[in-house]
Amino acid sequence: MRSRDSFPTPEKPSKRRICMSRPPDSPTRSATSPPGSNGGAPKGPALWAVAGGKGGVGRSLLVANMGIQLARLGKKVIVADLDFQGANLHTYLGIGRPAKSLERLAEEKESSLASLLLDTSVSGLKLLSGAPQSFAPNQRERILQRFFGQASSLGADMVLLDCGSGRGGDVLDPFRMAGAGILVATPEPASVESIYLFMESLLGRVFESPLSSDDQEKLEIARCLDEGAGEGRSSFRAALERLRGEGETRLVDRIQESLRPFRLRLIVNQIRSDAEAEIAPMLRSGLDKYFGLELKCLGCVEYDLSVQQAVQKRKPLSQQYPNSPATQGIERAVSTLVSPSRAASGEALLLHRNLGELDLYRLLEVPPGASSKEIQAGYQVLKRAYDPENSFRHPLLSNSQVQRLASMLEAAYRTLIFLETRTDYDRKLVAQGVLQADQVKASEAEGTPPARPPTPPTPETVSAVPVSARDDSQQAPVKEAAASRSSQVPGEGLPVTGATLRQHREAKKMALETIVEKTKIRPAILEALEEERFADLPEPVFLKGFLRQLAACLGLDPTVICREYMRRMEPPAAQDEPRAQ
């Protein structure tokens, strides 16, 4: 009897041929159903290809652990290692030398994908392992033909493809053929540049089939015409605007139609600070302004030492360290990925209008009802993103192009940040039918709060007793009690101990289960922490993270709580040493 999470074996593998120069006719989903969803009647799994443009961004680790998290949500998941140059996805799943791999397809020893699926330690998760050696171009083509031809019969809900690193055809083809891709970046200039260069190469691969050689030449000429000093290429979006201005509307329509099926997502890995997390909105804005493509961010994954320890132990991160910050970041990204999203089949692409024709709200990437603080915060991010001296920028564009875009953003900001000019602009948008009247009222009301009702003046009373002679003894206990209450906080007047942390939690009427739900820290660890059973606590590198999470949940200073509690765990001699100095 087959178990609930088993995958059915297809009766007969598909013999369908797939052209390598264009995406397949979506054998895994209907034409109107966006990637990542199963539409009305599911015809196959949702395919998500994962690539990063360069190595070292944690792509394979993310694929493995995203598969684990999806399986925990009750999905039937397959993770496929399509890294044709260095397949190692099995390592991140805790599997040694795979018994079966795609090598059998390349050597034509096997024709069925389902027979190559390997069980993992996670129920509902299967692995399609890659081969340790590299493949010849004809072997890669054969593997991709059979993979995408049989994907609809694998009986899975989702398939994650590890596409490898680089910008060669062996990476671009599976990413393009999947139709839905997840880009992985790290907060490093080289990684951000690789994302932009990957998109440039991907677009070139996409247009090989739908565009004739003459059309491709027209597009290339439009991209080579830089309005600045000529030290760079025009952005893809600027090139389409130039073609549209020259009357090449049919060519622009064909280009847009070729890009319509694509859905792009982003994960920023190895984040150490909030400043590094700004890479996500910068890349999202860059793909909008430079390529006219929508890039939705799934989330950021923190830099975590537990990742290295899990890899060294050859154990899946999500199983070995389920409460680590990196695991929680991956869990949040998966939740965003599977959350229902608006179907985009009938929506116009961002490319359908020139950049200069967009309204100022759309240009600054803020909603029409945004407050002044939101407009200012959004502009500051864009200002840093389009600074010509910024290290995280498109490497092929000239400084003059970036500066022109920065000038457009500054002009939009100056119009929207002042109430008078914003009100006039909103009224124009209402007259044009772009905004609704209620949105204008919201913006007009901002910054001009309703006047307070007048309060009757109270007659000034003069005490007959001199100030120096007044008895404030009754007020002193009240002040002392207030000061005492404000100081009864661990780390601020109270020592940081397990008992004081428990008392503070109980004073805030937070049950232990509430802390567990918010921080994902196991109850046994929280109990050992409050009872100061140091022998039952995890290693310091993980305990520090738990202490910071607990402090943030309780409204305490994470740095102080972590430092003082870790100090209590030190031997007495180590505690006295700083005082002796």
pLDDT in tens, 222-259: 888 665 545 678 889 989 999 998 999 999 999 988 88
Helix boundaries (H) for 180-304: 189-206, 213-224, 236-245, 249-259, 274-277, 279-286
The more confident residue out of 163 and 345 is 163
550-559 mean pLDDT: 88
Average pLDDT for 92-110: 82
pLDDT at 475: 46
Average pLDDT of the residues of the chain: 80
Q: Please say if the pLDDT value at position 138 is more than 90.
A: no
58 closest CA partner among 167, 184, 197? 184
134, pLDDT greater than 50 = yes
Q: How confident is the model at residue 382 (pLDDT cuts 50, 70, 90)?
A: very high
Residue at 405: amino acid letter = L
Q: Assess if CATH 3.40.190.10 describes domain 46-338.
A: no
Q: Is the pLDDT of residue 316 over 90?
A: yes
pLDDT of residue 28: 41
- What is the Cα–Cα distance from 529 to 222, expressed in whole angstroms? 64
Model confidence at 81, in pLDDT bands (50, 70, 90)? very high
User: What's the pLDDT score for residue 439?
Assistant: 66
Alpha helices in 418-509 (DSSP H): 419-432, 437-445, 475-487, 498-507
Kindly report the three-state secondary structure assignment for every residue of 261-323.
CCEEEEEEEEECCHHHHCHHHHHHHHHHHHHCCCEEEEEEEECCHHHHHHHHCCCCHHHHCCC
Sorting pLDDT into bands at 50, 70 and 90, what band is 161?
very high
Q: How confident is the model at residue 155 (pLDDT cuts 50, 70, 90)?
A: confident
Identity of residue 168: G
Where, residue-wise, is CATH 1.10.260.40 in the chain? Answer: 487-569
Q: What is the pLDDT of residue 30?
A: 36
Residues 90, 81: Cα–Cα separation, whole Å = 8
Q: Residues for the chain: how many in total?
A: 581
Residue type, 261: P
Residue at 282: amino acid letter: M
What's the CA gap between 25 and 415, in Å, rounded?
46
Greatest distance between any 2 Cα atoms in the chain: 106
Strand partners, 126: 78, 119
Phi, psi torsion values for 315, nearest 5 degrees: -125, 145
What value does the CA radius of gyration of the chain take, rounded to a whole number of Å? Answer: 29
Which contacts of 255-260 are long-range, i.e. CB under 8 A and separated by 24 or more positions? Answer: 255/207, 255/211, 255/219, 255/351, 256/349, 256/351, 256/352, 257/210, 258/206, 258/207, 258/210, 258/211, 259/203, 259/206, 259/293, 259/349, 259/351, 260/349
Predicted model pTM: 0.70
Interval 180-212: pLDDT, tens? 999 999 999 999 999 999 999 999 999 988 889
Q: Which two tokens stand for residue 543?
A: 């305990």
Q: Is the domain 487-569 a CATH 1.10.260.40 member? A: yes
Count of alpha carbons within 13 angstroms of residue 116, beta-carbon side: 27
Distances (CA, A) of 91 to 72, 95, 205, 305, 396: 20, 6, 31, 18, 36
Of 179, 414, 183, 180, residue with least CA distance to 279: 183
Confidence (pLDDT) at 63: 96
What residue ranges of the chain are covered by domains with CATH 1.10.287.110? 358-445
Please state the φ and ψ torsions of residue 185, each to the nearest 5 degrees.
-130, 160
Record the tokens describing residue 371, joined without a space.
């407050």
- Residue 27 confidence class, pLDDT cut points 50, 70, 90: very low
Q: How far are the Cα atoms of 376, 393, 440, 447 from residue 444, in angstroms, in the given order?
A: 17, 36, 6, 8
pLDDT tens for 524-539 read: 889 999 999 988 888 8
The closest of 282, 232, 283, 236 to 399, measured between CA atoms, is: 232
- Greater confidence (38 vs 258) lies with 258
Whole-number Cα distances in Å, 128 to 125, 291, 462, 471: 10, 33, 87, 83
| E-state strands within 303-354 | none
CATH 1.10.10.10 fits 358-445, yes or no: no
Q: What pairs with residue 447 in β-bridges?
A: none
